[in-house]
């Protein structure tokens, strides 16, 4: 059952984050590992950066809507993920931004990159948990999965 597998993998990954938050670095390899942990039951593409253009359903591929928002080309994902992590680590070390603003900035940029074909939302929540824990903030340990 896919939904049971999704719940189990989410729980396992959340437990992994809580147990290893002190040793997990904010880098592309960690992000790929967490992605693998979250969706390896669903696809063989887990932990692989998106390798083709991403189309947002409901937005014409060549319509006027794309003038205001363009999906990052898949060829640039490794470079942008490296930059995202480097910027986060640099600002975190220098205390250039309040940690909550820095986390929000990281997650927003992560969403804009759309680094994987699937599982980006679940991974963003997991990364937010990790960043909150590493920054010493209170976090939500359990998530209600009822509809």
| Within a domain: 21 | yes
| Within a domain: 64 | no
- Collapse the DSSP code of 51 into the 3-class scheme (helix H, G, I; strand E, B; otherwise coil) and give the result: coil
Q: Cβ(43)–Cβ(116) under 8 Å?
A: no
| Within a domain: 41 | yes
- CATH for 41: 1.10.3290.10
- What is the pLDDT at residue 67? 47
Round to whole Å and give the CA distance between 142 and 104: 20
| Percent of the chain topping pLDDT 90 | 65
Q: Cβ(110)–Cβ(77) under 8 Å?
A: no
| Within a domain: 143 | no
Round to whole Å and give the CA distance between 8 and 75: 32
Round to whole Å and give the CA distance between 11 and 105: 25
Residue ranges making up the domain that contains 19: 2-48+70-134
Tens-digit pLDDT profile for residues 54-78: 776 665 655 555 445 668 899 999 9
Average pLDDT, the chain: 87
| Within a domain: 107 | yes
| Within a domain: 42 | yes
| Within a domain: 79 | yes
Alpha helix (H) residue ranges in 40-98: 77-94
| Within a domain: 144 | no
Domain count along the chain: 1
């Amino acid at each position: 059952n896919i939904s049971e597998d999704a719940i189990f993998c989410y729980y396992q990954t959340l437990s992994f984050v809580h147990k290893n938050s002190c040793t997990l670095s904010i880098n592309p390899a960690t992000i790929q590992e967490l992605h693998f942990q979250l969706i390896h039951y669903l696809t063989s593409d887990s932990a692989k950066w998106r390798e083709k253009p991403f189309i947002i359903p409901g937005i014409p591929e060549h319509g006027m809507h794309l003038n205001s928002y363009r999906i990052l080309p898949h060829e640039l994902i490794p470079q942008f993920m490296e930059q995202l992590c480097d910027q986060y680590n640099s600002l975190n070390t220098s205390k250039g931004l309040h940690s909550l603003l820095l986390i929000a900035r990281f997650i927003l940029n992560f969403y804009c990159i759309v680094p994987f074909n699937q599982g980006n939302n679940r991974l963003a929540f997991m990364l937010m948990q990790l960043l909150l824990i590493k920054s010493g903030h209170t976090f939500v340990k359990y998530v209600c999965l009822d509809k």
